Amino acid sequence: MQKRRLGQNLEVSALGLGCMGMSFAYGPPPDRQQMIALIRAAVEQGVTLFDTAEAYGPFTNEELVGEALEPVREQVVIATKFGFDFEPGVDAGQGGMNSRPEHIRKVAEASLKRLRTDHIDLFYQHRVDPDVPIEEVAGAVKELIAEGKVRHFGLSEPGVQTIRRAHAVQPVTAVQSEYSLWWRRPEQELLPALEELGIGLVPFSPLGKGFLTGKIDETTTFAPDDFRQIVPRFTPEARKANQALVDLLARIAEQKDATPAQVALAWLLAQKPWIAPIPGTTKPHRLEENLGAVELVLAPDDLREIEAAASRITVQGERYPEELERRTGV
């Protein structure tokens, strides 16, 4: 497995594993023991970056990841997140924002227990809290780093000015943001800022929440509790319109003896050497397929061909419902 460096000194596998879907968001959770086996299989295949959050469940995903990685804790990098308030019976993500310093410390202590570890490798603010100055957030994480409970500070879906202000207090190692061939807004401001500041990028949903794999079309039905049910980009009309992007990936994949998912991931890896995507999966064969993307080399001509064809495709539908989009990029 190839390695990549995030920030100044966090080395991770070129592809990580997003663990959210093992507990949350994409329909009924799969069998727990099967997911533990999948996480351990990823370790055996060289994956070292594992992404979770207290919000996934809430709490159950951290417990799963903690149990799965406990035997190999020193070989891996565990990323988790803070920033929400959870009350009994409240769905993850629907709780209020809370990045007050005392709450950050409380979340860190609870996450350490669930993850069965004495340190969090990468601690992200899950969403920017408009009620707490980012300098206070960065200061709270800085204290946790000084105490050895956290190793690195991250931000998820922040705006560029927030990144700069946070970075001035406590160096930001990584920013997590959606980024893929069908969500390219980070190229406008985010990527140049990260390059300037020496911060890594960890793209989530690098396969467009599954759409770029080619396994979803306008006739696909989702479970009632699947997050994609409320995503404008996943209406049947949008899926039909966006099929052109999948067709493009399929054409390139055929030329390369690869799959559309592998081309989508290889394209991301080719954008910058400090990008480490975290595709999620619950299926062992998909894990192997995704990891195969690391060996897929897209030549400059391939990248130009993809760019030229993609520029003629207008992706239909917003990536989030309006109330969730308002929580990003501030």
Catalytic residues: 56
Reading the block at residue 122, the tokens are 């990468």
The DSSP annotation for 253-298 comes to HHHHT--HHHHHHHHHHHH-TTB----B-S-HHHHHHHHGGGG-PP
**Cis ω before 232 (30° cut-off from 0):** no
Kindly give the pairing relationship between strand 150-156 and strand 172-178. Answer: parallel
Angle between the N-to-C axes of helices 260-271 and 300-310, in degrees from 0 to 180, rounded to the nearest 10: 110
List the 49-51 sheet strands across, edge first. Answer: 17-18, 49-51, 77-82, 120-125, 150-156, 172-178, 200-204
Query: Residue length, the chain?
Result: 330
Cβ distance 80 to 113 under 8 Å? no
- Residue from 211, 212, 228 nearest 324 by CA: 228
- How many CB atoms neighbour CB 226 within 10 A? 18
Cβ distance 18 to 53 under 8 Å? no
SS3 128: coil
DSSP state of 77: E
- Residue from 141, 43, 150 nearest 99 by CA: 141
Residue 205 burial by CB count (10 A; 0-12/13-18/19+): exposed, middle or buried? buried
